[in-house]
């Protein structure tokens, strides 16, 4: 029996949620879950359909994207996950999808404006879109460089990965993260929902105004502030 069984189960269940929430097309998506004490993470194998995926198929890799345990090849995005885990020490799970509205904003190379309180319930900033990767990086270690692309975006926009748990990679798609794999998937669904709402808002009114600061502050703090009162 694998010593990574519980981590594989966590990762498997999170990946199955991507499919259940209709955030993936065919096999285009992946979730990983990290074990910080062991210095490894679990990730979906590349190109395996969700309907036949099993917990024991989940691949265990180290932070250099070397396979520690598993018979299948890990996700093609493994090096991106590894880079984020190496550099952002408080995240416990990462999710990547090709969800339609999130990808549409990424392809448009636009941040998603904070138009409403659904967005403000989760973060106080526009959802950032990292610029498309430079040609020399595309021709190099592409997936590893995608991680660099994400970190550079956060540095340039002066954002905290602990407050903004999602990003669009220009012309590619969304990555989200959280304290565990379940929270990463939750953030993927939030991102897709907000992306759709923002798209529809722009269709109804191309000149729609950004949510005013007082409402941003109120809705974020009632869920996340020191005197939060949302929920039980």
Just list the catalytic residues. Answer: 121, 230
Question: Running DSSP on this structure, what letter comes out for residue 212?
Answer: P
Token digits for 126? 């526009």
Question: Running DSSP on this structure, what letter comes out for residue 48?
Answer: -
Work out the angle between the directed axes of helices 78-87 and 142-157 (0-180°, nearest 10): 40
* CA–CA distances in Å: residue 134 to residues 44, 62, 63, 147, 168: 28, 27, 24, 13, 16
Mention every residue, 6+ apart, whose C-beta is less than 8 A from residue 217. 124
Give the C-alpha separation, 222 to 199, whole Å: 26
Strand partners, 29: 97
> Taking a C-beta distance cutoff of 8 angstroms, is the pair 128, 157 a contact?
yes
Question: Running DSSP on this structure, what letter comes out for residue 55?
Answer: G
């Amino acid at each position: 029996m694998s010593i990574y069984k519980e981590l594989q189960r966590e990762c498997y269940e999170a990946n199955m949620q991507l499919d259940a929430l209709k955030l993936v097309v065919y096999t285009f998506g992946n979730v990983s879950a990290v074990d910080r004490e062991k210095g490894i993470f679990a990730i979906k194998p590349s190109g395996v359909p969700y309907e036949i995926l099993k917990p024991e198929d989940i691949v265990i890799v180290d932070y250099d994207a070397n396979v520690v345990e598993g018979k299948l090849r890990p996700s093609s995005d493994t090096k991106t996950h590894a880079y984020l885990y190496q550099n952002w020490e408080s995240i416990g799970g990462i999710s990547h999808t090709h969800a339609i509205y999130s990808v549409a904003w990424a392809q448009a190379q636009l941040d998603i404006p904070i138009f409403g309180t659904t967005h403000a319930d989760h973060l106080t900033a526009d959802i950032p879109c990292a610029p498309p990767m430079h040609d020399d990086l595309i021709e190099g270690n592409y997936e590893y460089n995608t991680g660099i692309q994400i970190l550079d975006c956060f540095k340039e926009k002066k954002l905290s990965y602990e407050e903004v748990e999602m990003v669009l990679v220009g012309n590619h798609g969304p990555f989200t993260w959280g304290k565990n794999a379940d929270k990463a998937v939750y953030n993927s669904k939030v991102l897709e929902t907000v992306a759709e709402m923002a798209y529809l808002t722009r269709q109804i009114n191309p000149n729609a105004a950004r949510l005013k600061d007082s409402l941003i502050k109120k809705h974020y703090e009632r869920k996340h502030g020191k005197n939060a009162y949302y929920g039980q």
